[in-house]
Structure 1
């Protein structure tokens, strides 16, 4: 734990001086990386938005209709987010606010984006 704190302090000092970006592509897949709540929340938020955009484009272009596809999107999106932080990053949920707080990052914004893109693509492509 002390080593992680030293890494965090070193990373924070470098970030404040402007020499090193706090979020690198390699850090996204490093289970040893140190995350603060805001950084991890931002990453999970944007992953969820990308999933929403892709699913909305796919659902609208196929064309899929019905409420079941909203549930399928929620399952896919939540599964990807949970798999990312639990399996790839091996993050302890308790450190970031308990069960479900990480799983809710970006949820409502992604639902909105998904529904908007799905509706627009479906309407433009099939009417």
Structure 2
């Protein structure tokens, strides 16, 4: 599985965790629908589930005039994926994590998703460096 696909599948799994209150393993199984799993996909979903408080705190600290709970589910979970990669995936450059999130936002989000995700992640980038 390419990393872009792993990110997209992770977005779907995180969405299920948010909406249906699924457990990470159950959400991953559902998204894969019988297809073989992928290490990076599992790393993203389980890592975000484990570090969610830290990740959500970073996102909250960089939102203006928004609360995390008010964000569209797609945007919120894309931000979680990108922030997780920016902080915890040393083999993923910060700019790559940002660009991937922006491109996926264009595919799955609404008209403003990509620019919103870019704005929030640009602020996060200033704090994490790279």
Q: Which has the larger radius of gyration?
A: 1
> After TM superposition, is the score higher than 0.5?
no
Q: TM-score range by the shorter chain?
A: 0.3 to 0.5
More helix by share: 2
How does the TM-score come out when normalised to structure 2?
Answer: 0.35
Q: Identify which of structures 1 and 2 has the higher relative contact order when contacts are C-alpha pairs closer than 8 Å and 6+ apart.
A: 1
Report the TM-score, using the length of structure 1 for normalisation: 0.35
